[in-house]
Every structure is written in C-alpha cells, then in structure tokens.
Structure 1
C-alpha cells in the first residue's frame, strides 16, 4: 500500500489565484417586487457586490424585508450597491421591459445574475380546463423570461460570459445556491480529449460556452456552443469511448403565445472542433405545451454497450425516460411508476453494465432508486438509506454509486447499492456537489480523487484508494477561490488537472506534480491563450 497522499497543496498553490481571490464581483438580482429578492439575496456568500433590480416598487412590508436581507448580507461580508433599483414598468417580459433591464445590466457589468423560475412547478391540475394551477404569481415567470432575454442580449453585446441562476419558488436559502437552482450547473464540466487536451463547458445567459486547449496547451477564448433558447443549466456525461455529451433544456416561444420546453443533446468528438449541433430529444408531455413546460432537468448515462438513457421528471412528478441505442435509434418516452420525485435526478452506470437512476423524493427527506431487474424491467428501490441535501447528488467513481452531502450533517458521503449505510467522506464544511475522477496512480496504486467547494469557498481535493472510501479520505485545501464546484479531469496518460472558476470570470487550472507517494499540485494558473 502506498503512503497517504501529501496534505500540502504544493508550493505556491495559491499562485495567480491570489490576485483574484480578494476581488469582489457584481451579482444582479432581478425580481418582480422587492420581497421576491429576499431568498435570492440570502444565498449570496461573502465577497459579492449585490445589486437588486425590481420591476415594481412593491408593498412597504416587502421593501422592509429586503432591507433586512441586505443588511444581513452586508454582515456576511457582501457589499450592497444601494437600495433596489425600481424600473417602474407594468409589463414583465415585453420589449420595453427587456430594454430597461438591458440598460441596467450595461450600467452594472455583472458577472452573475439571480432571477426567478420561468417555468415554476404546478400545485394542481384542472382536468376540465386542462390548466395547471400555481402558488406563485404568473408575473414571476414573466420576469424571469425578461431577465433571461436581457442577460442574453447583454452577453451577445459585450462578449463576456454572464452566469445565471433561476431560483425555484419556495427554495430555502439554507440549501445554498446549488439547492435553490431550477437548472443545475454541471459538476463534471472539465473533459480530457483523446489527445490529452482539455475542454471546459459552462452554461451562461447566451447558452453554453466552451474553452479548449490547442496543441501547445494554450486556452481559447470563450466560444459559444450555438443554440438559441438554451436555459442556464448543463449536464456533461462521458460515453464509453470518453467523448463528452452535453444535455440541456431549450425554451422557444410558440405562435399561439405558449412555449415549448424540450431536452436537447450535443456531443464533442474532437477538441479542436465545435460540438455537434443541438438535437432535440423532446419531452414526455410534449403534446400539451402547458404540461410540457414543466419538464425537469435531464439526467443521463451510457450503459456498457453504448446505449444512452435519458431521464427527466415529468408533469406528474414521476420519472420518464428514453433510450438511444448504440446504432442511433430512439425509443419513445416511457414512464417509471413509483414515488413522486423532486426535480433532481442522477443516472449512473452500474457494476452490471446497466444504467440506474436515483432521485430525491418529493416533499419527503428520502432518496429512491430504480435499476434494471429481471428481464430488463425497472425495479424501484425505496430502501436507500440516506437523504441528500438538495443540489448535491452526483455520480461516484465507483460503478453504480452516488456522491451527495447528507441532508442533516452536510458531510460529503458516498453510497453504493447493497451497503447498509452511506460512507462518510470527512468533508462537512463545504457546499454544493462533488465531482470525481478515478485512475489516478500513486506508487503503483490507483486512487479516486474528489473535488469540492470547501470551507470559505475554496477548492478542496480529497483522495482515497480506488473502490475503498472506507479507508479514509485525505483532504487538502488548495486555496483557489471557486465559485460553484471545481472540476477535475484525467487524461489517458494519467495526467490529473483541476479547474476552478473564480471572481472576475477567471478560469484557473492546476496540474498535479509527479512526486512519489504524494498528491501535490503546481501553482494555479489562469487559462490564457
């Protein structure tokens, strides 16, 4: 057995990260009325400059509640850029409102934008009229649509990425940004090509952007992965050959005044070339756009034979799925009966080579799993012995297993089917999901490496012998500030690279240094051309 990985971050691990680590970044919060901004302000961590933009002045008690939330944010270490900017517009997603919001964004030059949910979850359904009912005003969704349009126009105008979070109605700020998102940010957003070159994929206001290395290791500027109407979320999944596949939701207006929301898919086969055009996978309730707009964000995985399975939460809050065979043909959307689920799924490839899917149960602190049983029929497993913190379910390095943060303790944990209890991983002070890679060699032994947003928002790295998290995880803080989860990638030759997004739109990377018995990284360096 090799020695434990060195806990040191490596000489100068802060490196160039230090130049941006103390810088603040502007976060625009766009809402209908001041009261709507309270939970959105509540998730913001120290170091941000918060500017609230409200379409209407709202009621006195709502303005007072926002004042208290902004005071609390200042006490946490945020800088508040004055009181809410009230636009005083009657419309919400009309061209005049979008133009007014665009003017504000030009003035603020934000790096991130928080807004509401354009397609909130329904609370009931009137069979006679065919109309869903909601417990949030229709103006919330319209405000979000206007904010997304203005943010996309600003990014197209400036060429600078703008990262957007749409917050689910009634989400608890205590869950953090990841737990409040309607459209999740990717956990595994860094990919290594066959030639060893890296590509980073990130969702923005104007769709997905990618940055990739050339043959000299220099990074490209952000390049759009063309696709109008993409909502600000992304899933990145590798196929059995190692190629990255991208999954997102696309929202397009209909001539009759409705909207279509559909799952879309693209793939990158060469680092030097753009991904394929986005292809629509549709949705399980596409016949009626009012039901179809409620589709959840997709989860996906490939089985050992190369068949692609895609899962979504449907209008009835259960799971629907489609499969693309290795030769390209798609099955129709099919339904998984069983418990109602929240809008958070994760698909994994099991040790048997088939695909399994996990979900948080709706309105209950539980997790449920479906796996292929005898004859290929889906079997529901309600005995999964953990409850995950919202926004933290991700695939584990071990086949069929999942990573998550415990709902009650926040500790990072892993669970594999058949285990009586999850295995704690010893990291409870961070936030958000974990990303993982396997096959990192030290002294002839293979290790799995975890990366997470640790205490204080910096990049934390842990390692354990592959398949043996029960032996203990050795964590180290690498110092680089990371907005959202950092990522990791391993090339076919075993080179491990970490990546983190920092304030001021920087992408930092750090390569592992080859030292016997140690997991040590070189200085963080900005990804530059």
Structure 2
C-alpha cells in the first residue's frame, strides 16, 4: 500500500491468457490486478497465466478474482460492463499498432510476428476504457506494451507510448499545470494562484480521439505545447495515425484546437499506423522541430520557423532506430536528436553545424541505454539514461569521453529527468527525479555542471503510478508531482527556496 492511499486498481486486457502473462509480470508490487481475456485459451495458456498471477501475489500484488473471458461480438459492451464492475484506475494492453518485421510486397501489407487479434483486442479495450471514463468522470490511465524491445529480445515489454516526463510545467502567468494522457484524452490539473496550495482538476480537455500518450514541451515564452498521436478512419478502410499538436496560451483556459502535422507515411491503412511517438524542441530562434520514427525505422522531421511556416516531412538517412527519440537544446540554442538504435545497443545522434546547416549523424555516442530510459538532462545539451547493464542512471553530453554514473542503481525503471538552477547556500544545483524500487519517488542533487562530483539521492514517501515530474518556478520554488492511487495528483514542495533539499509532506490536489 502506498503512503498516499489504497492500492491502485489495475485491469489487464489481452487477446488470450498467454498474452496476459507478460503484462502481469510488468506490474509492480502493491497493485490490485484483474485480468480480462477476449478469447478462451488452451490449457497451457491458462496454466501460464495462473503461474504469473501467483508470482504477482508473491511480490505483493492482490489478484481480484479469476481471469474472465469476454467476447467482442456485442461491439465491446461486455468489456465495458467488466470495466464498470472493476473500476480500474489503470488499464494495461498490448500494442494496438505493432511494429512490422518484414513486408509482403505482392500484397502490399506489413508482416508481424504476433497474431492480429492482439492489436484488435487492444483497440477494443481502449475504446471500452474511453467510454468508461466518459461515463464515470474518473480518469482511466492506459499503458500499451510492445511485445518486446526493438532489437533486444528477452528484455521486458516496452511502452508503445513513452512515459510522460515533463508533464508538470509553469505557464506564462506563473501558475503550474499538470497534463497527463488518459483513455479519453488529456487530463489537466491547474494551480489556482502562483505558488499557491490550491489546485483544480482533474479536468478532461476537449479534443479528438487521441492515443494514450503525451509529450509536453515549453517554449521560451512559457507556453506549453502538447504533442500526441490521433487515430482517424480512412475512407477506403483501415485507420490513419497522425501527429497532432495543441498549445495552452492561458493557464486554466481551453487549449488551441489540435492541429494535425500529418505523418511521414500518410493515408496508407497499414504504414501510417506505425508512426512513432513524436519528440519536439524549440531552438534559440523560436523555431520548432518535431521528429518521429517512420515506417522504415528511420527518422523523419518537420520544422516550423519563427514565422510560423512549416516544412513538409523530411527524411534523415542513417542507421535504423527504435521508437525512442529524445531532443535536447544546446547551450548555443541549437536542437540535437538522440535515438536508440533498433538492431543494436547503440545510440545515434544528429546535430547541425549552424541554423542552416545540414544534419550530421554521429555514430560514436559512447553509451548503451536500457530501453525506455532516454531523456533530456537538466543542463543544456545533456542526455540522461539508465545503463543497459547496471540500470544505474547516467548523464552524457557531446564531447565527454564517456558517461558519468549518477548512483542509484536499483530496480527502478523508466527515465530520469530534472531541473537546473536550484539555489542553496549560494550555489546552483541540478535536481533529478526518478522512479525508484517499487515505483517510489527518488530525488537526487548535484552541483550544477559537476555530476562527476557525486549525487545525493533520497527516497520520498510516496509511490508514483507514472514517472514523477519536477518543476522550478520563476520564484525558485521546486515542486514535485506524482500520480497516486485513486487517480489523484500528489504534490510536494521544497521546504526552503534557498537552503537544503528537504521536501514537505505529500498532499493531493
């Protein structure tokens, strides 16, 4: 049980019992797990799921009832009825848009190494979760898991949509906003007054049919820009998945309409479904770069100049990449891209020699990250990751001979993020935040620019159902945010704006 409340209720939906095994294994201690299977399975599949559930109970989960088999013959109503009864705060699914392993040119269709009913079941469950959230008014958060990590067999299933990292952000007026993706769209919490303790939310923001992922990028003026993927039906059958963007110009007020940026493979009922999740960054001139992995497993991007004009999608040639891209803005104001390789443990970097220079691919990046752990560092041009062998958080920047270990090698997972410019005793520090063992929130501190001098880590008494977030506002106040049981926003503040790194007790918004 979390220090913030009762155990989180998790419902796992899979095509058959055997497909639910990996999803059960990915669940951390303390959750209440219910399992729904769309189709009946054979004896071996049922036995494998029983063993996985028994293992989950041994590591501290509570299994709610026996796995139930439901069908989709009634248009998904059976799934919706089960979700109404289970009332999950979180739903775990397979990948609704799995990555192809080859292509059948004669039939013009991609070839996958898993049965199509896995994706069909995920889409049916996602539709039921959306409907349940709209009925109940309570956020339902969704994790879609790939069948395996790109190019690294045997590793744990990776998310189809990356964990939101910088989902807590300061607006133009100094108030904070928290944005998270849910089954029915983006939910938002809003601070009522700058630096105040009162918040409103969660509020479901109007918008199109988004997939359950979100990227939040703040521009130089303090406006948060939201990037996601939107699914729409095609006239000739199938569905198209496109990158979309919306902006919040007034804290607590409606977003702009979601604007489609399209995709590198538009209008094709198979190819467009595999567009990767977008990453984005602004350069010093106010230009915006948006990057995605395309159907061919390389990188495509669009650029919006400071005048608002967009380029078409353009292609970066080079090594094939996994769907794990990270942008960083350098000290000089340029944008660089990091991507985990698809067929090896390497990382690729793209950079430009100047604002109008051509993109150069750098294959000499000297580290191998654990899948799902790449993130932009708090200092310009730096990238954070977990070491593929040790799981230890590390930082690297171009020009460094090797990564700098940050300590804290534990059974935590996911990216590490942070903020810079945290003042204490006349010195400036960078503050990191990550998920620790069992989902606990951990905070680390080091002298800005001197990660090699050592990091001091402290675990905080709260578990986070998502990657914890941190922000330093214009007044110097540092705020941590988590998502706690009951789909509530958990918050903690640094006790002193200029002395020490102690945080006050957690409270819910």
What range describes the TM-score normalised by the shorter chain of this pair? over 0.9
Q: Deviations over 1:281-326 (max 9, x none)?
A: 1000114232111100001111111100000000000000000111
Shift of 1:428: 1.2
What aligned pairs does 1:80-99 form with structure 2 within 5 A after superposition?
80-87=63-70, 89=71, 91=72, 96-99=74-77
Structure (1 or 2) with the greater helix fraction: 1
Does the CA-based 8 Å contact 1:116-1:141 persist in structure 2?
yes
Change (3 A) 1:173 1:242: farther
Does residue 383 of structure 2 align to residue 405 of structure 1? no
Q: Which residue pairs with 2:506 in the alignment? A: 524
Indicate yes or no: 2:246 matched with 1:266: yes
Match of 2:169 in 1: 191
- Extract unaligned runs of 5+ from structure 1: 1-13
Secondary structure of 2:414's counterpart equals strand
What residue in structure 1 maps to residue 3 of structure 2? 18
Which residue pairs with 2:219 in the alignment?
A: 239
- 2:50 pairs with one of 64, 67, 88: 67
User: Where does residue 282 of structure 1 map in the other structure?
Assistant: 262
2:311 equivalent in structure 1: 331
Q: Say whether the 8 Å CA contact 1:252–1:260 is kept in structure 2.
A: yes
- Whether 1:102 and 2:102 are equivalent positions in the alignment is no
Q: Is 1:228 matched up with 2:211?
A: no
Look up the match of 2:428: 446
Choose which of 413, 437, 446 in structure 2 pairs with 1:464: 446
Question: Which structure's relative contact order is higher, taking Cα pairs within 8 Å and 6+ residues apart?
Answer: 1
Residues 257-295 of structure 1: CA distance to partner in whole angstroms, max 9, x if unpaired? 210100001111221312211110100011423211110
Provide the rounded CA distance (Å) in 2 between the counterparts of 1:313 and 1:349. Answer: 19
C-alpha distance 360-404 of structure 1, shift in aligned 2 (>3 A): same
In 1, distance between residues paired with 2:377 and 2:362?
19
Gaps of 5+ in 2: none
In the alignment, which residue of structure 2 is the partner of 1:510?
A: 492
Q: Provide the residue aligned with 2:333 in structure 1.
A: 353
Any idea what SS the aligned residue of 1:70 has? helix
How many residues align structurally? 503
| Equivalent position of 2:348 in the other structure | 368
Runs (4+) of structure 1 moved beyond 3 Å?
A: 171-176
Kindly indicate whether the alpha-carbon contact (under 8 Å) linking 1:173 and 1:180 is maintained by their aligned counterparts in 2: no
**After alignment, is 285-294 or 96-105 more displaced?**
285-294
| Matching residue within 18, 40, 51 for 2:23 | 40
User: TM-score, normalising length from structure 2?
Assistant: 0.96
1:477-522 Cα deviation digits (max 9, x unpaired): 1111112211111111211111111112121111111276411111
Q: Hey, what's the Cα distance between the residues in 2 that align with 1:349 and 1:458?
A: 29
Q: Report the counterpart of residue 401 of structure 2 in structure 1.
A: 420
TM-score by length of 1: 0.92
Aligned-residue CA RMSD in angstroms? 1.7
* Shift in Å, 1:456: 3.2
Say yes or no: does 1:317 pair with 2:297. yes
Equivalent-residue separation in structure 2 for 1:410 and 1:208 (angstroms):
31
Q: Is 1:151 aligned to 2:99, yes or no?
A: no
| C-alpha distance in structure 2 between counterparts of 1:175 and 1:509, whole Å | 33
Q: 1:396 to 1:515 in 2, by over 3 A?
A: closer
Structure 1 residue 224 displacement after superposition: 1.7
CA contact (8 A) 1:197 1:212 kept: yes
CA contact (8 A) 1:117 1:144 kept: yes
In the other structure, the counterpart of 1:4 is: none
User: What CA distance in whole angstroms lies between the structure 1 residues aligned with 2:79 and 2:416?
Assistant: 34
8 Å CA contact 1:194–1:491 kept in 2: the answer is no
**SS in structure 2 of the partner of residue 431 of structure 1:** coil
Residue 320 of structure 2: which of 337, 340, 351 is its match?
340
Q: Is residue 248–residue 298 contact of structure 1 (8 Å, CA) maintained in 2?
A: yes
Secondary structure of the equivalent of 2:332? coil
Q: Which moved more, 1:96-105 or 1:374-383?
A: 374-383
Structure 2 residue 377 is the aligned partner of structure 1 residue 396: yes
Q: In the aligned structure 2, how far is the partner of 1:515 from the partner of 1:370?
A: 37
Range moving further from structure 2, 200-209 or 348-357? 348-357
